[in-house]
Copies of this chain bind each other. A is one copy, B any other.
Amino acid sequence: MPNSNWLLPEYIQDMLPDEAWRIERMRAVVLDLLRRSGYQLVVPPLLEYVESLLIGGSHDMDLRTFKLVDQLSGRTLALRADITPQVARIDAHLLNRPGITRLCYAGSVLHTQPSGLMRTREPLQIGAELYGHGGLESDMEVQCLMLQSLASLGISGVHLDLGHVALFRALAKRGGIGSALEAELFETLQSKDIYALGALVNGLRPEVKNALLELPRLYGGTEVIARARAVLPDYPEVAAALDDLERAAAHLQPLARSIGIDLAELRGYHYHSGMVFAAYHPGSHDAIALGGRYDDVGRSFGRARPATGFSMDLRQLHGLLEPQAQPKGVLAPHRDDPALQEKIARLRAEGDIVAVDLLGDPSLRGELGCDRELVLRDGAWVVAELKS
């Protein structure tokens, strides 16, 4: 009976052995780096009540989130499309510490639509968050950690883009811009639509209007910071943000191939409030890791705390690496011989892969992924090259 039960939904894929082991190792490498850097692992659930996951009221996030009904409560549940808000909930409510909390996580998230043609709807998100510190030091700590995480995976030649949401927020506040117009301006700046921007800023007072029109042009290398000082109004918030960008760029220089500044970059996540950053690699059109400051997210859970963090998708990162096959194993014949069983156990204890050839069919043993075999020589089981 022919059927198509084996078909997967679009943008949903299995990980087969070579990829699965590689990603498992990548996960272990990054989590170990984060652990040694003082970050504690948390594992929030795959589903929660929809209100807990859709904090910040992002329409984009709402559309990307799968909803379903909880038979136990009758309420609407959502599958997480992002882990950051869950970790903020844990910091705000469960751990409830007054000082600094460093947390990390690794887990799948699900999206109703892929974020790009080459992307999966089930990214494997890994990341770290630092709560309880509002200064530049914590921004730089997580930025370093993101670049170190990429380096630990063998991903080099990374370009780092820095931005600062406080610049736009300061202009909106000083210009007396209402929340509806602010949202429109935000979208327009993200899409870098200069013509639409021109129409939106028309009624604003000149220094704010001119500054908003300048923002999309303020991208490039670190020289952009000096240009911004010249063309943006000298509000103290603007000066402070530019100082922070300058210090962070100098601090991160040794860890990146190049550093760019993009002052119209406000990130798709609506919850960011301060410095934002994204890593790029020649192998990917999209950012390969990103993060930023989001000091207000905890408020949704009853406790606003300064916060900054980064995240990346291990499946996307895996695509940047050269393919690598798993190590090969040792084929063992299937025989009820205590000396053979002991030898197999010893090899496995030493870290070798040993696969027992239960069928004993020479034409099929190629599938068992072995390049050596156990043979009996002079009464002892020894490892020999596998003749194919």
> Taking beta carbons and an 8 Å cutoff, which residues of A are in contact with B?
1-3, 5-17, 19-21, 23-24, 28, 31, 33, 35-38, 40-49, 51-52, 55, 66-68, 70-73, 75, 77, 79, 86, 89-90, 92-95, 97-103, 107-108, 110, 112-113, 122, 132-133, 135, 137-138, 141, 300-302, 326, 329, 334, 348, 351-359, 361, 364-365, 367-369
Contacts and interface: CB of A to CB of B under 8 A. Distances in A.
A16 B47 contact: no
Contacts of A3: 300-302
Given A41-B20, A41-B21, A356-B38, A6 B92 contact: yes
A11 B100 CA distance: 30
A46 B108 contact: yes
B46 A2 contact: no
A6 B302 contact: yes
Contact of A358 (B17, B41, B137): B137
A357 B138 CA distance: 11
Contact of A12 (B8, B45, B71, B141): B45
Contact of A47 (B70, B110, B133): B110
Contacts of A300: 3, 5
B141 A358 contact: yes
B361 A9 contact: no
Contacts of A49: 5, 7-9
A14 B85 CA distance: 13
A135 B334 CA distance: 12
13 contacts: A5-B302, A6-B301, A12-B47, A15-B41, A16-B95, A20-B40, A21-B40, A40-B326, A46-B46, A98-B364, A99-B361, A99-B365, A100-B359
Counting every copy of the chain, the complex holds 2
A72 B8 CA distance: 12
A94 B52 contact: no
A359 B133 contact: yes
Contact of A94 (B14, B103, B329): B14
Given A42-B17, A98-B364, A122-B46, A36 B5 contact: no
A42 B15 contact: yes
Nearest to A138: B358
Contacts of A79: 46, 68, 79
A51 B133 CA distance: 49
- Going nearest first, the 3 A-B pairs with the smallest beta carbon separation are A38-B355, A99-B364, A15-B43
Given A6-B89, A98-B367, A107-B108, 18 more contacts: A5-B55, A9-B72, A13-B45, A14-B42, A14-B45, A14-B90, A16-B42, A17-B42, A19-B43, A23-B43, A33-B348, A38-B368, A46-B46, A46-B108, A66-B68, A100-B358, A133-B358, A137-B334
Nearest to A303: B6
Nearest to A31: B24
Contacts of A361: 99
A384 to B, nearest CB: 18
A141 to B, nearest CB: 7
Nearest to A361: B99
Contacts of A8: 45, 48-49, 52
